[in-house]
Amino acid sequence: MTKTKKETLLDVKDVSLGYEDGAIIEHLSFTVQAGDYLCIVGENGSGKTTLMKTLLGLQEPLAGTIERSAALKDNAIGWLPQQTVVQRDFPASVREIVLSGCLNRTGRYPFYRKEEKERADRAMARLGITHLKDRCYRELSGGQQQRVLLARALCAAEQVLLLDEPVTGLDPKVSMELYEMIRQLNRSGITIIMISHDIASAVQEATHILHIGQNIFFGTKEAYTNSRMGKYFLGTEESGE
């Protein structure tokens, strides 16, 4: 096996996405390989979240196929939703929520074992929420809640981590740390698919860019920065390189 030939985890072929009332995106094709760091950018309402939900299997594509590699087991995916609608009076401690991310590791065993509890503790430490672990989720600030859900996503992500606008609501310091952490995770072999509105840092961090909207672009970040679309959105067009 040569190292250059990486394994394809997701193969999206000519997919149309949308809801009953019509397609939002049509003829979308791209692939994600093990170890990639893919950033999905696009305007509000362009269908990024819809794409991510389709990748996760929460909804069916209107047309086309999405092939998941055999290696990408169902229980190897972590996800940070853009919005989590939690009822206002839901009683749940931070630790219970983070632990629930480990559920896909327990297999048929009904309870959490020591290793899962340690994994949850590590995820909480990484996001600096260990001191909140017995607090009630609904009493936390928005940024703290975001970190709890991130810790949960980390627990679940064995091979692939999907993040829907992860830095929303985080302060600048934590955002920086988050990007750094995602970079480390990516180096340790976890494939990252991230939705972001921050095109500048997306281009800095990612290996591949998927830009959806009126025109669709998919390619490496180098190709993106050199494309007309990329130049336009990065604001480098006028500077006339």
Ligand X SMILES: Nc1ncnc2c1ncn2[C@@H]1O[C@H](COP(=O)(O)OP(=O)(O)OP(=O)(O)O)[C@@H](O)[C@H]1O
Q: Which residues of the chain form contacts with Mg ion (CB under 5 A)? A: 48-49, 82
Q: Please state the closest distance from residue 44 (CB atom) to Mg ion, in A.
A: 8
Nearest to other proteins of 15, 203 (CB atom): 15
| Helix, strand, coil tally for the chain in percent (to 5) | 40, 25, 35
| Interaction mask 195-214, other proteins, x per CB under 8 A | --------------------
For residue 49, state whether it binds other proteins (rule: CB under 8 A): no
What CA–CA distance (Å, rounded) separates 39 from 46?
Answer: 14
96 touches other proteins by CB under 8 A: yes
Cα(191)–Cα(34) distance, rounded to whole angstroms?
Answer: 6
Least separation in angstroms between residue 86's CB and other proteins is: 7
166 binds ligand X (CB under 6 A): no
Residue 56 is a binding residue for other proteins (CB under 8 A): yes
Between CA 126 and CA 41 the distance in angstroms is 27
Q: Per rule CB under 8 A, is residue 134 in the interface with other proteins?
A: yes
Cα–Cα distance, 53 to 67 (Å, whole number): 15
DSSP alpha helix (H) spans, 34-141: 48-55, 94-100, 114-126
**Distance between CA 35 and CA 32 in Å, rounded?**
9
Angle, CA of 237, 218 and 180, to the nearest 5°: 85
Q: Does position 24 bind ligand X by CB under 6 A?
A: yes
Applying CB under 6 A, the residues found at the interface with ligand X are 19, 24, 42, 44-50, 82
Applying CB under 8 A, the residues found at the interface with other proteins are 53, 56-58, 73-79, 81, 84, 86-87, 89-93, 96-97, 99-101, 103-104, 106, 110-112, 134, 136, 139, 152, 156
